[in-house]
Amino acid sequence: MVEGGSIDPQQAYAEAQALLAQERWAEALPLLEAAIQAYPQVPQLRVAAGQCRQRLELGTTLLSEGDLNQARYQRWINTAEERMLDPLLPLRHDWWELGATADGSPCWLPLHGGPVQLAENWPRLGWLVLRHPASALRPGALQFLEAWLGDLDDPVHDPHLIYADEDRLTPAGERSDPWFKPGYTPESFWSSPWLEGLSLWRLSWLRTQQLPLPPLHVEQRWVWALQALARQPRIQGLPHVFSHWIHGEPKLSSPQAQARAQALADHIQSQAEAIQRVQPHPEQPGCFRLQWAMPSRHRCRIIVPTRDRADLLETCLDTVWRTRGLGASALDLEFVVVDNGSEEAATEELFQRWRFKLGDRLQILQDAREFNWSSLNNRAAVGSSAELLLFLNNDIEAMQAGWMEAMASQALRPQIGCVGAVLLYRDRSIQHAGVVVGMHGGADHAYAHLAYPAAVHRGRAQLLTAWGAVTGACLMVRRELFEQLGGFDEAFSVEFNDIDFCLRCGQLGFRHVVVPEAVLLHHESQTRDAMNSPTAAIALKRLQALWGSRLSTLQPWWPEACAPNFHDGRPAGLEYLL
């Protein structure tokens, strides 16, 4: 777009239109604004920029607090939300809630119009509706669910547990603050459990598990739900709001919250996980901070490709070294800087200083070939005896101690493949908090450009959560697994090498997580021309050829109710409500 300091408005408009066609508003807007500044007389540029701002303003305000959020959500409810069925339609399944008779005896209360039954045993057929007293079932939700279930009763594939999206009612009775939930993955559920308001359990499955009846007292149901989840039911989330919290979820006392945290820790430990501590999250009510044990003195090789830009590399090495852990659980660090043809004297001076500072902990690997991110990192990983590999871009800046140990404690879990960090731009907006595989037909960063911390999806960007991939700008993985997969695919020279690697890990059954304790700055330009890379289109085509079927869905990582090509988390149907 820029040649000799000038801007071609037609080219800028064409590039922005290509981004608009992919609904990549945040990337199109800087192109248009730069072109408008140079050519304010071109009306098409202003129209397109206004379209971008409208789309972005809708998404960034939808799930934040305030009156505008309420207005946007109400508009979506009135014009785009899928309707429930007529609540007067007769129910064909048996639906039961737990209650008490006049003398206090537990009983089964039928929602399908049958007779009340004493709760000595499980009913033979139907579904158990576990609902918090402060959570109102949406009228017609059960009729809608019956239509979804159909007449099938497939014991091999039908779900044993169903959950759905939810929102809150204001004191005036208006719906607000929706929670669009992702598909079930253990880490996402552990950090932000979503069954308290409403969950639906197939009774025929519960009968086979020899579980006790759920307690009448709602505070005791958490332990029961964890016992049931330990039996590994087939779980299905539905992308529809089925229930409303009345005046918000109930507040827990500190002892109650601590008891829930301990029950969750016991549940995770029962699955052979080296969980060390579970604590109620101080900023996210009802959520948890989870900490895994960190084995002592594991070696980690940190690999940083670079080419000149000594200022960036200096900051990267200095902050990573200063924030390293100390003590028995600290990582034993070694650095490999891959010099991809640096020419500036400042770069060689930096190398000399850091050789003196780190001694044999630092290796400078010269590789002046044409830039290939995958090849540079693969070469630097060869010959290491370290248990962990940490791939870092040279424009990463660490901010606080403990981040590497938090990532390592996840990477050492046998179930986990790749571990990522929360990366922020200089203005503290989100650059990376997880990758949504399948977005834009390839992959994109969740919550990109939203202010951190972000409240979207109950503050998911601040919680331990699972994703389809994490960015290679800061990626930790066990060396053994990296070697098993043959490293990064060098046919992906610049783009999508991290996505392809994560997908290959996922194919083997490994999950990927982003660690909320690892929050770093990424000095990547927010206004870079996304269409300028000569390799991007080729890499996307290759990714689609290799992983076409996997790229056809964003689940379970992204809430199914959310628009598939908007990383701000807005619900589907809001895209064009201007």
Residue pLDDT, tens place only, 244-288: 999 767 788 899 999 999 999 999 999 999 999 999 999 888 999
Please compute Rg for the chain using Cα positions. Answer: 26
Contact partners, residue 396, CB within 8 Å, separation at least 6? 316, 320, 423, 473, 474, 520, 521, 522, 523
Q: Where are the alpha helices (DSSP H) in 108-219?
A: 141-149, 186-191, 203-208
My answer on whether 263 and 309 are in the same domain is no
Is there a contact between 24 and 563 (Cβ–Cβ < 8 Å)?
A: no
Q: Where are the alpha helices (DSSP H) in 468-564?
A: 479-484, 497-507, 536-547
CA–CA distance, 203 with 108 (Å, rounded to integer): 12
Which of 287, 309, 337 is the last residue before a domain boundary? 287
Backbone angles phi, psi at 447, to 5 degrees: 65, 20
Helix, strand, or coil (residue 34) = helix
In a domain, 566, yes or no: no
Which of 62, 83, 106 is the last residue before a domain boundary? 62
What residue ranges in 89-246 does DSSP mark as E strands?
A: 95-100, 106-110, 117-118, 127-131, 135-137, 161-169, 175-179, 198-202, 235-246
My answer on whether 472 and 416 are in the same domain is yes
My answer on whether 46 and 191 are in the same domain is no
List C-alpha distances in Å: 503 to 431, 437, 443.
21, 9, 11
- Tokens read off for 253: 């006392």
Indicate the residue type of 133.
P
Domain, as residue range, for 158: 95-287
CA–CA distance, 201 with 233 (Å, rounded to integer): 9
In a domain, 166, yes or no: yes
CATH of the domain at 7: 1.25.40
My answer on whether 464 and 319 are in the same domain is yes
Q: Where are the alpha helices (DSSP H) in 323-447?
A: 345-358, 373-381, 403-411
CATH of the domain at 428: 3.90.550.60
My answer on whether 228 and 273 are in the same domain is yes
Four-CA torsion 69, 75, 78, 84, nearest 10 degrees? -40
My answer on whether 333 and 240 are in the same domain is no
My answer on whether 377 and 479 are in the same domain is yes
Residue pLDDT, tens place only, 176-215: 889 999 999 999 999 999 999 999 999 999 999 988 889 9
Is there a contact between 371 and 343 (Cβ–Cβ < 8 Å)?
A: no
Q: What is the DSSP letter of 407?
A: H
In a domain, 81, yes or no: no
Global model pTM greater than 0.85: yes
CA–CA distance, 29 with 429 (Å, rounded to integer): 16
My answer on whether 497 and 359 are in the same domain is yes
In a domain, 495, yes or no: yes
Contact partners, residue 18, CB within 8 Å, separation at least 6? 531
List C-alpha distances in Å: 202 to 130, 180, 205.
11, 23, 6
My answer on whether 501 and 362 are in the same domain is yes
My answer on whether 282 and 314 are in the same domain is no
My answer on whether 257 and 349 are in the same domain is no
In a domain, 537, yes or no: yes
How many structural domains does the chain have? 3
My answer on whether 395 and 487 are in the same domain is yes
Which of 287, 314, 338 is the last residue before a domain boundary? 287
CATH of the domain at 124: 3.90.550
Is there a contact between 372 and 493 (Cβ–Cβ < 8 Å)?
A: yes
The tens place of each residue's pLDDT in the chain, 578 residues long, gives: 433 445 566 677 777 777 777 767 777 777 777 777 777 666 667 777 776 766 665 555 454 444 447 778 888 899 889 999 999 999 988 999 998 888 888 889 999 988 888 877 888 889 999 999 999 999 999 999 999 998 656 666 789 999 999 999 988 889 988 999 999 999 999 999 999 999 999 999 999 998 888 998 888 999 999 999 999 999 999 999 999 999 767 788 899 999 999 999 999 999 999 999 999 999 888 999 999 998 778 999 999 999 999 999 999 999 999 999 888 788 999 999 999 999 999 999 999 999 999 999 999 999 999 999 999 999 999 989 999 999 999 999 999 999 999 999 999 999 999 999 999 999 899 999 999 999 988 999 999 989 899 888 999 999 999 999 999 999 999 999 999 999 999 999 999 999 999 999 999 999 999 999 999 999 975 434 444 577 888 999 999 999 999 999 999 999 999 988 888 888 988 775 54
In a domain, 218, yes or no: yes
Q: What is the DSSP letter of 427?
A: T
